[in-house]
Chains A and B, each alone.
Chain A
């Protein structure tokens, strides 16, 4: 599939700040592609470079084979939904939507026809005469979408469009955006810091951090097979383990020796040799927690620990289990009626077990990413343990 939209070695600095650092990215035609990352990671800058509001210091932007890097924003077949919608306050809803066509000097009749079509698409025929100050946040967003789509752009850019809405509205708008994408079939480039939005809407996600792309993939890939500790910790929760390869077990498995824990069995995700350093990421829901020692085959790992924190969340409970130096995050789904069972409580001694297949090896690990995992603070009176990573060499 030929790449429809390409960023090629794009960099942009503002003074000393490297906002975008040698980013190369391809987006396919008709995709719903998200740029996901925390504030300041460069995703909005990248978007603006595509829209034409920033000039990259290096690199090119290619749209449908054409190099648009030097084109001014009004000449690009790209339209943007701004975070604050940027509706023209002095024009009515109808005039806002018609704006792009009027600039393009389309004939009057055609404009009226298309605007009416758009209005019925977003179901705002009755509000067409109103000014932006007279409509609600959700309605403003729809007008912004209509205003952009009416120009039939090749790419629609969305800059955190749901950030200004409250929860319920956001959920509804998410569905609407999804629907619009399916109906219209245009390539969407969506910028957000909210993983829920990105995961639920996107065909593919690019996770960005400090101006660089950490990983690109479909949502499941990003979640289950994170390449870096940043991706593992930023999206959802995880547990990190650092270990050395001690033994190879059959073609697919190997054993890791980990400081403070018994040797663990894990799946061999990449070619390794004895003595190599490995960083393992295991998601909380992959663990099984029980009072009694479970009967499991030798493909499983099994540890004993003590529950130090319990957070009940309805569909599941999150436990923090202490095992020697480690505090593991564990999620237990409640698939049976909870009140008939005896849920696990504080201070209980429990068994944690998981299948060796369910961990994933990281390509890159950075200790600073540990702070992204929200560890609960130590309770007063409990012995203060040294941090998870005893100071080992290099990451």
Chain B
């Protein structure tokens, strides 16, 4: 059957579209000149400058601390939420589902401002902890959705088989359900981690004066900073991202 070439063409164009800015960015980061428009030869000058920037490292460590802790907490809470949602079909759960689903569709700015108002209303001081809380809130939703999706596709006759063979609730969950759900939970965790590290808008709203995360730092650099430094930083981040994604693909391929 003769197929139209159009979808293929569009897909390829899209991919080119996706990667164009990234490529340009990477290349210009090696540009020795200050302004990205004129080429003055290859240089690692900017990378050297980057590593000297203390504030950036500080922001990075903040981001990591928050991301790791938010991921752990949201994975635990999100997974239990997914279980509750899957198991019980009461009215309460439908409300629960709507609640969990909301952060996914609401624009970040609304989340940001409502969290800000909430913290202000209860008199909590803005700082790393408020960022942490905010991240946990939306990360739970993502983790819950991913795990819930896995649960819905899960073949529960296997759990019945485990029970049939003598396993009680605990044993069948621990030995059968969780090992098989693990990839989904991990995927959720990875997603949460990425979202937390990368989040800007919500963090921007609930951050305090001393608590900068990497995205916030980047934003201020974009507004007032030197472009080449940002290029270099971006390229580094891209590299790290590629490695992480490659690693996770490798891991999931091994387990499948």
Contacts and interface: CB of A to CB of B under 8 A. Distances in A.
A103 B157 contact: no
B209 interface: no
B231 to A, nearest CB: 45
A150 to B, nearest CB: 9
A90 B165 contact: no
| Central interface residue in B164, B171, B176, by most chain A CB within 10 Å | B164
Given A84-B157, A86-B157, A74 B163 contact: yes
Contacts of B166: 74-75, 100, 103-104, 151
Contacts of B176: 88
B160 interface: yes
Contacts of B164: 51-52, 73-74, 78-80, 148
Contact of B180 (A80, A84, A90): A90
Interface in A57-115: 72-75, 78-80, 82, 84, 86-90, 99-100, 103-104
Contacts of B153: none
Size class of A's contact patch?
Answer: 20 to 34
Contact of A147 (B157, B160, B165, B180): B165
A96 B254 CA distance: 21
Contacts of A75: 166
Interface string B148-180: 000000010110111111111001100110011
A80 B157 CA distance: 11
Contacts of A74: 163-168, 172
A312 interface: no
B163 A86 contact: no
B163 A90 contact: no
B168 A88 contact: no
A89 B180 contact: yes
Interface in A36-61: 51-53
B165 A100 contact: yes
A79 B162 CA distance: 10
A123 B175 CA distance: 27
A361 B215 CA distance: 86
Interface string A228-242: 000000000000000
Contact of B165 (A72, A84, A89, A99): A99
Contacts of B175: 103
B172 to A, nearest CB: 8
Interface in A126-143: none
B160 A73 contact: yes
Contacts of B157: 82, 84, 86
A148 B172 CA distance: 16
Contact of B163 (A73, A89, A104): A73
A151 B168 CA distance: 15
Nearest to A157: B164
Contacts of A99: 162, 165, 167
Contacts of A79: 164-165
A82 B165 contact: no
Contacts of B161: 80, 82, 86-88
A53 B162 CA distance: 12
A74 B167 CA distance: 6
A86 B167 contact: no
Contact of A90 (B171, B172, B179): B179
Nearest to B182: A90
A151 B180 contact: no
Given A147-B165, A148-B165, A86 B171 contact: no
A84 B155 CA distance: 10
B213 to A, nearest CB: 38
Given A90-B180, A148-B165, A103 B160 contact: no
A148 B166 CA distance: 10
A336 B27 CA distance: 90
| Central interface residue in B155, B163, B165, B171, by most chain A CB within 10 Å | B165
Contacts of B160: 53, 73, 80, 82, 86
Contacts of B155: 84, 86
| Central interface residue in A53, A82, A84, A86, by most chain B CB within 10 Å | A86
Interface of B: 155, 157-158, 160-168, 171-172, 175-176, 179-180
Given A78-B164, A86-B157, A103-B165, 4 more contacts: A73-B163, A86-B155, A87-B161, A100-B165
27 contacts: A51-B164, A52-B164, A72-B168, A73-B164, A74-B164, A74-B166, A74-B167, A74-B168, A74-B172, A75-B166, A78-B164, A79-B165, A80-B164, A82-B160, A82-B161, A86-B157, A86-B161, A87-B161, A88-B158, A88-B162, A89-B158, A99-B162, A100-B165, A103-B175, A104-B166, A148-B165, A151-B166
> Which 5 residue pairs across A and B have the least CB separation, nearest first?
A100-B165, A86-B161, A86-B157, A103-B166, A73-B163
